[in-house]
Amino acid sequence: MVINILIGVAFLLIMAWLLRGALRKPPTPGELIRQKEEARRLEQDKVNAALARVGAFSQIRLDALFTAVQDMRGALSSGEIFTASRTSEAVDLAFKQHSLRITHHVQQVNLDRENLSDNYLAHLERFHLEVPQRAPEDFTDLETLLERLAVLIVEFSNAAEN
């Protein structure tokens, strides 16, 4: 008898749950629009936050590059071989007859990733070196780029002396 009562109560609970779902009013078109709009806004906020984090990382890396270029310039016997300038997007070096531009990019960022740490972004970074009348070059780390810059600075300074 107790089992019959328990089965009856379970049956009533299941029926109440099913009826509640069946009798529930569907959302109004206005509610649907608000829900979709809120979901889209949350997704856009997430993307904007990730892009801001990537942009901040690029600025830090360009600052490190500019500091290294300034140190290289100061180490030269005649510091006026080239001038260096920093914009929000690049580091530009101007020689008497040549110029070059270095930009920083982060490739293929997963915007769904919760933590865009410096270590994660460092594996995806690329430094892009543009020298007029030459093929552009890409570097995956700052040290390799600085070695190539040292070669170019010596090359361009020798060309300026001749």
pLDDT in tens, 52-61: 888 888 899 8
| 134 contacts 113 by C-beta, under 8 angstroms | no
Q: For residue 145, give Cα distances in angstroms to 28, 117, 120.
A: 58, 22, 20
Q: For residue 104, give Cα distances in angstroms to 56, 61, 126.
A: 11, 8, 6
* 84 burial via Cβ count (<10 Å: 0-12, 13-18, 19+): middle
In a domain, 16, yes or no: no
Give CA–CA dist 55/33, Å, rounded. 32
In a domain, 23, yes or no: no
In a domain, 3, yes or no: no
| 128 contacts 136 by C-beta, under 8 angstroms | yes
Domain count, the chain: 1
- The span from the first CA to the last CA of the chain, in angstroms, equals 109
| 65 contacts 142 by C-beta, under 8 angstroms | yes
| Residue 93 pLDDT class (50, 70, 90 cuts) | very high
pLDDT at position 95 is 86
In a domain, 91, yes or no: yes
pLDDT digits (tens, 9 = 90+) for 107-121: 777 666 666 676 777
Average pLDDT over residues 27-49: 90
pLDDT at position 143 is 92
In a domain, 2, yes or no: no
| 122 contacts 103 by C-beta, under 8 angstroms | no
- Closest listed residue to residue 157, CA positions, set 69, 110, 107, 95: 95
Structural domain of residue 137, as residue ranges? 35-161
pLDDT digits (tens, 9 = 90+) for 63-79: 999 999 999 888 877 66
pTM: 0.71
pLDDT at position 86 is 93
**Given the DSSP bridges, would you call strands 137-139 and 90-94 parallel, antiparallel or unpaired?**
unpaired
pLDDT at position 112 is 66
Average pLDDT over residues 126-130: 92
142-161 and 29-75 helices, crossing angle to 10°: 50
In a domain, 103, yes or no: yes
